[in-house]
Structure 1
Amino acid sequence: MLFQDREDAGRQLARALVKYRSRHPVILALPRGGVPVAAEITAQLEAPLDLVLVRKIGVPMQPELAMGAVVDGEQSLIVRNQDVVELAGVSEETFDVVCREELAEIERRRVRYLGDRARSDVKGQVAIIVDDGIATGATTLAAIRALRKREPKELILAVPVAPLETLQRLHTEVDAIVCLDTPRDFGAIGYYYRDFRQVDDDEVIAILERFPARKMAAPAP
């Protein structure tokens, strides 16, 4: 499967999620790439849109290789990929330095993207986590575990594309997974999009302005 762009992927994913519309879900996007995907789902499901501020903790010499991830919250949640930490020979001190750098970027994004925007309360709600794809799953896992602490009624993971092996590892962490393509020989997320240009801060802000925070519906029965 090849998506034209993130908006196309979002529209296709929205069709697969339409059964959740009557359950008044909350859509939670991983910035930045997940936000244009989530926007299409938000529009189709007439749902609130919010962000999950999560950052990959990359190996210093190979930043694309995740040795963990960190998620914003009342207490930051850190997920370690211990196998990668040990394989790369990363010390505890180095891990902590990179982690602090990513926390600083999370704080920058919170101020820039959200400002004084009201946040969605997911307690007792159906929560749908959205990204533009999953590779190793480190950031996704961190986002899932952070959201679990907020006690949603049901937690759904929705992505256009992800390797089957990664989804199998995440299966026990969520109540359901909606994924349109699960190639075994994955490569990289960008391989599945004709247009996979980088999403910038201004685009994220513009999308959030299109979907202002609003009062939640009653918890899903």
Structure 2
Amino acid sequence: MIKKYKHILKNREDAATKLRDVIPMQRLKDESWKIVAVSKGGLELAYMIRKKLPNTLDFLFSEAIMAPNNDECEIARVSEREEIVINEQLVNSFGIQYDYIYGEARRKHEEQILSYVYQYRKGRPFTSIKDQVVLLVDEGSETGMKFMTALKTILAMGPKAVYIAVAVLPSDTLDLLEPFADDIFFLYDIDDYVETELYYEELEKIEEEKLEKYLGDKNDI
């Protein structure tokens, strides 16, 4: 099963080209959908999906909160608007205190997220998307936590509709996200998902200059 999907996509450009075939691009243009990336790789992918369209492109910053004794186990996530999504199952099974999560959320927000907002948006807060149509984008989704945090944050702002575009994701993550999004545009949902990098031949690290370019350019590709 792993071999079947290994390197199924060449790179983000390949993923963007294929996603443009499943996203209703004419509606995206006509209805002025706001495109919002939920990761650095997602931002490059979103930039390539948009191409020369005038749709606005933004990045919703969020940070993972890890288990106290395991810095590889994400138990919660906080967004730049201080919305928190908690993996209740993990928190309960590890007996983690909610005070720890809220404390870590405040620290991550103050120490990391706010610095990103100043660095990449010159301190500008995330634009209001009340009554707007939003398309959340990522290159892949292992647990769905980034999307869930973005969904909670966006839905609290009163959008008209929220869609998701993602190249690859686990089947159970697709099931998790579906009730919260108006539709999900994806290329592959995989039962035995390993990690996103496995499904791309090449997944370049995004340099800071590129992030600033993507967020600064109106439409230039």
| Structure 2 CA distance for partners of 1:10 and 1:63, relative to 1, 3 Å | farther
1:204 matched to 2:191? The reply is no
Matched, 1:109 2:116: yes
Q: Does 1:35 align with 2:38?
A: no
1:151 aligns with 2:158: yes
Please tell me the residue identity of whatever aligns with 1:180.
L
Q: For the aligned residues, what is the CA RMSD? A: 2.0
Q: Which residue among 55, 61, 80 is the counterpart of 1:53?
A: 61
| CA deviations over 1:19-72 (Å, ceiling 9, x no partner) | 422221110011312110110122254311011112222224433422111111
Q: Which amino acid aligns with 1:14?
A: R
Q: How many angstroms apart in 1 are the aligned matches of 2:79 and 2:212?
A: 20
**Aligned to 1:4, what secondary structure does the other structure show?**
coil
| Structure 1 unaligned blocks of 5 or more | 213-221
Query: Paired residue for 1:219?
Result: none
On the 8 A contact 1:14/1:40 being kept in 2, the answer is no
Q: Partner letter of residue 39 of structure 1?
A: Y
- Counterpart of 2:87 (choices 77, 81, 84) is 81
Identity of aligned residues (%): 25
Q: Residue type of the partner of 1:194?
A: E
Describe the superposition over 1:154-191 as per-residue Cα deviations: whole angstroms up to 9, x where unpaired.
11011101111111111110111111110111111111
SS of the equivalent of 1:46 reads coil
- SS of match in other structure, 1:131: strand
Question: Alpha-carbon deviation of 1:4?
Answer: 1.7
The alignment covers a number of residue pairs equal to 210
CA distance in 1, matches of 2:85, 2:186: 23
- Judged with a 3 Å threshold, the aligned counterparts in structure 2 of structure 1 residues 47 and 99 are, in CA distance, closer, same or farther, namely same
Unaligned residue ranges in structure 2 (runs of 5+): none
* Change beyond 3 A, Cα 1:132–1:87: same
Residue equivalent to 1:96: 102
Name 1:174's counterpart in structure 2: 181
Give the C-alpha shift of residue 119 in structure 1: 5.1
Secondary structure of the corresponding residue to residue 185 of structure 2: strand
TM-score (normalizing by structure 1): 0.86
Q: Which moved more, 1:32-41 or 1:1-10?
A: 1-10
- Residue 130 (str. 1) matches residue 130 (str. 2): no
Question: 1:151 and 1:92, CA in 2 relative to 1: closer, same or farther beyond 3 A?
Answer: closer
**Which whole-Å CA distance do the structure 2 matches of 1:32 and 1:61 have between them?**
27
Structure 1 position 210, deviation (Å): 2.2
Is residue 2:14 matched to residue 1:8?
Answer: yes
Which letter does structure 1 place at the counterpart of 2:104?
A: V
**Equivalent residue of 1:196, what SS?**
coil
Contact 2:54 2:218 in 1 (8 A): no
